[in-house]
């Protein structure tokens, strides 16, 4: 007999239930295939590149097709995916629009490190483009599934963040935290430090001051993490605190960072704000912004509110002060 419910639905708004059920059903099945790893047919095989030039792996395509198929008949009129150049109409009379990064962190597929799925939900717009190219604070729900040691769903419907864990014993996502809040005080930052030489001065200055530890203006030591999987970094920060930065840099093609506004940054920003944190594109609140094209990128900085606003303060400093020796910047002590 096939399973009827994949999530404790009483925590999900009635109109969104078919969609969330479908996401959990596919997430469940993907988590089983991911757990089989090399026993499955080459999930990490390179298939070429998607419309935007990113390498496309077999699991990227499998996940995208599985979500699109499962979401048909659940009220999704417009479906936008990282893996598709254009927006697809699933249910012509559906009331919702759903954007998805079907498989985030694909460089980690072959190395048994956490990967995930990120999604963002809006009321459907009058055209396919208007469904997604709109202020990102018009999202009505956002979340991610993470396929790690546990398969977890983090989701917000605009009234806090809920955490569900998939119980491997019966395959159901069960509520474990009803109102998740980002802890303050963590001393961890996440950034791809190999790009240091390409960053702007404010970003370098912020990281320099973290690296200086107890000998620097922050008077404390920091730890660094970089999983190269946005869902994994987000999950750690929602659970333990800290800050994530994927800034713009001077490499060709990275003028707006690497991450995509519609199906990566906007949903993560909504989750973070709903958990009491902040998310910006450097200085400006991310949720006040909108993408100009479906696959547009944006710099992304998010995490505990105090840390994110501190990065913004470095951007506000006049150029000569950012370049000054960190030890002289009393403003940034503590």
Ligand X SMILES: O=P(O)(O)OC[C@H]1O[C@](O)(COP(=O)(O)O)[C@@H](O)[C@@H]1O
- Written as six digits, the tokens of 248 are 């713009």
CB 166 within 8 A of CB 31: yes
Beta pairing, strands 151-156 & 161-166: antiparallel
**Interaction of residue 64 with Mg ion, rule CB under 5 A:** no
SS (H, E, C) 165-190: EECCCCCCEEEEECCCCCCCCCCEEE
- Written as six digits, the tokens of 275 are 């958990």
| 107 known ligand binder | yes
For ligand X, the closer of residues 203 and 322 by Cβ is 203
Place of tokens 């249910």: 91
**Interaction of residue 249 with ligand X, rule CB under 6 A:** no
Residue ranges in 59-88 that form contacts with ligand X under rule CB under 6 A: 82
> CA gyration radius for the chain?
20
For ligand X, the closer of residues 108 and 163 by Cβ is 108
Exposed/middle/buried for residue 321 (C-beta within 10 Å: 0-12, 13-18, 19+): middle
Residue ranges in 176-195 that form contacts with ligand X under rule CB under 6 A: 192
* Residue 312 interacting partner from ligand X, Mg ion, none (CB closer than 5 to 8 Å by kind): none
- Give the integer Cα–Cα distance in Å for 275 and 269: 10
For ligand X, the closer of residues 136 and 229 by Cβ is 229
- Give the integer Cα–Cα distance in Å for 126 and 74: 18
**Interaction of residue 290 with ligand X, rule CB under 6 A:** no
* Residue 83 interacting partner from Mg ion, ligand X, none (CB closer than 5 to 8 Å by kind): none
Instruction: Indicate which single residue of 163, 229, 280, 281 sits in contact with ligand X (rule: CB under 6 A).
Output: 229
Instruction: Indicate which single residue of 21, 64, 82, 233 sits in contact with Mg ion (rule: CB under 5 A).
Output: 82
Distances 94 to 27, 122, 137 between C-alpha atoms, Å? 22, 11, 21
Instruction: Indicate which single residue of 21, 64, 104, 172 sits in contact with Mg ion (rule: CB under 5 A).
Output: 104
**Interaction of residue 52 with ligand X, rule CB under 6 A:** no
- Written as six digits, the tokens of 286 are 């991310």
**Interaction of residue 209 with ligand X, rule CB under 6 A:** no
For ligand X, the closer of residues 77 and 260 by Cβ is 260
CB of 58 to Mg ion, least distance (A): 13
- What are the residues binding ligand X (CB under 6 A)? 54, 82, 101, 104-107, 192, 228-230, 258
**Binding-site annotation: residue ranges for substrate:** 104-107, 192
């Amino acid at each position: 007999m096939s399973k009827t419910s994949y999530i404790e639905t009483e925590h999900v708004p009635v109109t969104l239930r078919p969609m969330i059920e479908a996401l959990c059903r596919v997430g469940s099945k993907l988590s089983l295939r991911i757990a089989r790893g090399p026993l499955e047919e080459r999930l990490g095989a390179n298939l070429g590149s998607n419309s935007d030039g990113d390498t496309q792996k077999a699991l990227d395509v499998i996940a995208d097709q599985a979500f699109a198929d499962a979401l048909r008949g659940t009220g999704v009129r417009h479906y936008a995916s990282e893996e598709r150049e254009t927006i697809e109409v699933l249910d012509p009379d559906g009331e919702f629009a759903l954007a998805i990064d079907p498989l985030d962190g694909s460089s980690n597929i072959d190395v048994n490190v956490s990967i995930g799925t990120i999604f963002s939900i809006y009321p459907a717009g009058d055209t396919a483009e208007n469904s997604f190219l709109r202020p990102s604070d018009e999202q009505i729900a956002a979340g991610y599934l993470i396929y790690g040691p546990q398969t977890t769903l983090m989701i917000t419907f605009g009234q806090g963040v809920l955490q569900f864990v998939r119980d491997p014993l019966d395959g159901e996502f069960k509520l474990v935290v009803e109102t998740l809040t980002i802890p303050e005080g963590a001393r961890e930052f996440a950034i791809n430090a190999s790009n240091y030489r390409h960053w702007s001065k404010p970003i370098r200055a912020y990281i320099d001051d973290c690296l200086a530890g107890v000998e620097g203006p922050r008077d404390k030591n920091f730890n660094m993490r970089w999983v190269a999987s946005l869902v994994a970094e987000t999950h750690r920060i929602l659970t333990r605190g800290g800050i994530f930065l994927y800034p713009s840099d001077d490499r060709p093609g990275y003028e707006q960072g690497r991450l995509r506004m519609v199906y990566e940054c906007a949903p993560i920003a909504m989750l973070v704000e709903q958990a009491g944190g902040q998310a910006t594109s450097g200085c400006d609140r991310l949720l006040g912004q909108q993408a100009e094209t479906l696959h547009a990128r944006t710099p992304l900085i998010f995490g505990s509110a105090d840390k994110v606003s501190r990065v913004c303060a470095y951007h506000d400093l006049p150029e000569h002060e950012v370049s000054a020796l960190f030890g002289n910047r009393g403003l940034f002590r503590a």
